[in-house]
Amino acid sequence: MAWSFRGRVQLGGLLLSFLGWVCSCVTTILPQWKTLNLELNEMETWIMGLWEACVNQEEVGMVCKGFESFLSLPQELQVSRILMVASHGLGLLGLLLSGCGSECFQFHRIHWIFKRRLCLLGGSLEASASATTLFPVSWVAYATIRDFWDDSIPEIVPRWEFGDALYLGWAAGIFLALGGLILIFSVCLGKEDVPSPWMAHPTAPPSCTLPEEFDGSFHLTPRPMNLLI
């Protein structure tokens, strides 16, 4: 049951899209969007995410507290919350549509033109999910760099730096973009829909014959081999 080249391309695009969607969800949950190391107390590290801020102490461990007000957050974190949640919805919907439009999902009632349109729409949604993931991650990174090199802040004041979640978010955006582009590219492969081996069916039903008599007075006549349907 070997798949066609287009089917293998679609499967690769689906896997990349799914990997990017999972990484995007993990990025949203992780609190390591920003890190702050205090020079006066090296045993204490502060981290900040979209939903909570945590302090990690060697003796006590990590203690986290959620943000009580959405409006009190910096603007980049407010927008990042909305866009990251929108990215999850777009990515999941794109996976469902492109999965139904790929050769992995076989249903004889769905026309091949409609399946291509589903795959094209799913790939476009994955590309949109990539944009809504890369934009907030890059904006938070830009705001961190801007505050780090702000001359108006005294040098003795600790500065926020990049957290590990930002790198994971960039990887998620790249995976989503690659998966979406591959799914869109797969629509352009081939001009005709080649049925999968397990969906192929003969043009004529098999002849109904019995090797033995059913009873003494009734026999089944074999169907002529040259009969065309």
Per-residue pLDDT reduced to its tens digit, 18-39 = 999 999 999 999 999 999 887 6
**Average per-residue pLDDT for the chain:** 81
Query: Of 1.20.140.150, 3.40.50.280, 3.40.50.150, 1.10.640.10, which CATH number belongs to 5-187?
Result: 1.20.140.150
Element (H, E) at 48: strand 44-48
> Is residue 50 a contact partner of residue 33, using CB atoms and an 8 Å limit?
yes
Tell whether the model's pLDDT for residue 90 goes beyond 90: yes
54: DSSP letter: E
What pLDDT does 103 receive?
Answer: 78
Structure-block tokens of residue 197? 């081996």
Most confident listed range (28-32, 71-75, 153-157): 28-32
Instruction: For residue 210, give Cα distances in angstroms to 147, 203, 219, 227.
Output: 86, 22, 8, 19
